Chains A and B, each alone.
Chain A
Amino acid sequence: TQLLEQSPQFLSIQEGENLTVYCNSSSVFSSLQWYRQEPGEGPVLLVTVVTGGEVKKLKRLTFQFGDARKDSSLHITAAQPGDTGLYLCVFWAGSYQLTFGKGTKLSVIP
């Protein structure tokens, strides 16, 4: 059984601070995605990675992926209130199913 763990579970920071959240899998992924979900909405894709060791940037967000393709981190620089949401790590092993982590709930206080 594939396990996907995200940490921390909750994070509350002041506007302008930096933060890092983590995703660890017990298995090697074919791809790993990060989604963000705001209250009352469905998740929205941020990034997809398929190559170990890859680094992707999306404005103030930096996604790093482990060489062994079993872990990932998301770093946000100078967090803003608009970054508030549930950050979900999503593992895909090649079947029809995607496995979502429990998420990191981020609150950015103005």
Chain B
Amino acid sequence: GAGVSQSPRYKVAKRGQDVALRCDPISGHVSLFWYQQALGQGPEFLTYFQNEAQLDKSGLPSDRFFAERPEGSVSTLKIQRTQQEDSAVYLCASLNSGGGAGYNEQFFGPGTRLTVL
């Protein structure tokens, strides 16, 4: 596709359920980022992949959050035992270079809105 896609667009989970959020980056893009955006806030960094390597996961809020990109393309963000505070929009972005994130344009997907009841 022409842009970054994410699925599902909306997810409602009961507290305690596990969820998996998918990101399809632009083909050939080396870098992939996950962000969490709470209502009325800017995106907050969660984790960064360069190809299949997860080079920075310092933004993951707890060990319930896990991300992978096994073949260096599609990525999945998994949240185990969801809590109400996990409710947010989860954004994925890709970048065609392996560095210099602040010099280049990140292409964002539309996000997955997660609501935990």
Contacts and interface: CB of A to CB of B under 8 A. Distances in A.
Most A CB contacts (10 A, CB to CB) among B35, B108, B109 go to B108
B42 A103 contact: yes
Interface stretch (A14-22, A44-52, A66-74): A44-52
Chain A residues touching B, range: 20 to 34
B25 interface: no
Nearest to A94: B102
A32 B101 CA distance: 11
Contacts of A92: 101-103
B59 A88 contact: no
Interface in B70-117: 91, 93, 101-111
Interface residues of B, number: 27
Given A42-B4, A42-B93, A43-B108, A96 B101 contact: yes
Nearest to B9: A40
A97 B48 contact: yes
Contacts of A101: 42
Interface string B18-37: 00000000000000010100
Given A96-B55, A97-B59, A102 B106 contact: no
Interface string A12-56: 000000000000000001111100000011111100101000000
B102 A42 contact: no
A77 interface: no
B43 A100 contact: yes
A41 B56 CA distance: 25
Interface of B: 4, 33, 35, 40-45, 48, 55-56, 58-59, 91, 93, 101-111
7 contacts: A30-B102, A41-B108, A41-B110, A42-B93, A96-B48, A99-B45, A102-B42
